[in-house]
Amino acid sequence: MSGTYLGLPSFPEAAHASTKDTQLRANLTHATHTIRTKRATAINELPDWPQLRTAGAAIKDHTLHHLDHYLQQLETAVTNAGGTVHWATDADEANRITTHIIQTTGETEVVKVKSMATQETGLNEALHTAGIHAYETDLAELIVQLAHDKPSHILVPAIHKNRTEIRDIFHHEMTHWGRPAPDHLTDNPTDLAEAARLHLREKFLRTKIAISGANFMIAETGTLVVVESEGNGRMCLTLPDTLISIVGIEKTIPTFQDLEVFLQTLPRSSTAERMNPYTTMWTGTTTHDGPKNFHLILLDNGRTDTLADTTGRQALRCIRCSACLNVCPVYERAGGHAYGSPYPGPIGAILTPQLRGTTTPLDASLPYASTLCGACYDVCPVAIDIPEILVHLRERVAEQGEGHRAERAAMRAATWLLDHPAALSAVERAASATRGLHPARLPLPGPAKAWSDARDLPEVAAEPFRAGWKKARGAGSAPRKDKDTPR
Q: Does the protein bind ligand SF4 through residue 382 (CB under 6 A)?
A: yes
Among 52, 226, 384, 424, binds ligand SF4 (CB under 6 A): 384
Q: Does the protein bind ligand SF4 through residue 319 (CB under 6 A)?
A: yes
Among 280, 322, 352, 370, binds ligand SF4 (CB under 6 A): 322
Site for ligand SF4 in 110-169 (CB under 6 A): none
CB of 270 to ligand SF4, least distance (A): 8
Q: Does the protein bind ligand SF4 through residue 380 (CB under 6 A)?
A: yes
Which C-beta is closer to ligand SF4: that of 269 or that of 283?
A: 269
Which C-beta is closer to ligand SF4: that of 156 or that of 382?
A: 382
CB of 106 to ligand SF4, least distance (A): 39
CB of 141 to ligand SF4, least distance (A): 17
217: closest CA among 248, 247, 245, 252?
A: 252
Q: Is 20 buried (19+), middle (13-18) or exposed (0-12) by CB count in 10 A?
A: exposed
Q: Measuring CA to CA, how many Å separate 202 from each of 104, 197, 222, 321?
A: 24, 9, 31, 30
Which C-beta is closer to ligand SF4: that of 170 or that of 262?
A: 262
Kindly write down the DSSP assignment for every residue of 426-481, as one continuous string.
HHHHHHHHTGGG--S--PPSGGGHHHHHT-PPPPPPSS-HHHHHHHHH-TTSPPP-
Pairwise CA distance, residues 306 & 300, whole Å: 10
Which C-beta is closer to ligand SF4: that of 321 or that of 424?
A: 321
Which C-beta is closer to ligand SF4: that of 297 or that of 382?
A: 382
Binding mask 19-58 for ligand SF4 (x = CB under 6 A): ----------------------------------------
Q: Which stretch binds ligand SF4 (CB under 6 A): 65-73, 239-247, 289-297, 380-388?
A: 380-388
Q: Which stretch binds ligand SF4 (CB under 6 A): 23-31, 185-193, 313-321, 333-341?
A: 313-321
Q: ∠ CA 16-17-18 to the nearest 5 degrees? A: 100
Among 122, 267, 302, 381, binds ligand SF4 (CB under 6 A): 381
Q: Does the protein bind ligand SF4 through residue 213 (CB under 6 A)?
A: no
Question: Residue 450: how many CB atoms within 10 A of its CB?
Answer: 9
Among 199, 320, 356, 394, binds ligand SF4 (CB under 6 A): 320
Q: Does the protein bind ligand SF4 through residue 272 (CB under 6 A)?
A: no
Pairwise CA distance, residues 474 & 393, whole Å: 47
Among 116, 218, 261, 347, binds ligand SF4 (CB under 6 A): 347
Pairwise CA distance, residues 229 & 115, whole Å: 14
CB of 377 to ligand SF4, least distance (A): 8
- Contact of 91 with 121, CB cutoff 8 Å: yes
Q: Does the protein bind ligand SF4 through residue 321 (CB under 6 A)?
A: yes
Among 166, 379, 393, 424, binds ligand SF4 (CB under 6 A): 379
Q: Phi and psi of 286, rounded to 5°?
A: -130, 135
Which C-beta is closer to ligand SF4: that of 366 or that of 380?
A: 380
Q: Measuring CA to CA, how many Å separate 56 from each of 270, 285, 443?
A: 15, 29, 50
Q: Which stretch binds ligand SF4 (CB under 6 A): 94-102, 141-149, 199-207, 378-386?
A: 378-386
Which C-beta is closer to ligand SF4: that of 111 or that of 316?
A: 316
Pairwise CA distance, residues 166 & 175, whole Å: 14
Pairwise CA distance, residues 337 & 248, whole Å: 22
Helix/strand/coil for 289: strand
CB of 30 to ligand SF4, least distance (A): 20
Pairwise CA distance, residues 319 & 270, whole Å: 10
Which C-beta is closer to ligand SF4: that of 185 or that of 318?
A: 318
- CB neighbour list of residue 41: distance below 8 Å, 6 or more residues apart: 272
Q: Phi and psi of 311, rounded to 5°?
A: -85, -45
Among 324, 330, 349, 424, binds ligand SF4 (CB under 6 A): 324
CB of 317 to ligand SF4, least distance (A): 7
- Contact of 219 with 247, CB cutoff 8 Å: no
User: Could you list the residues that contact ligand SF4 (CB under 6 A)?
Assistant: 269, 318-324, 347, 379-382, 384
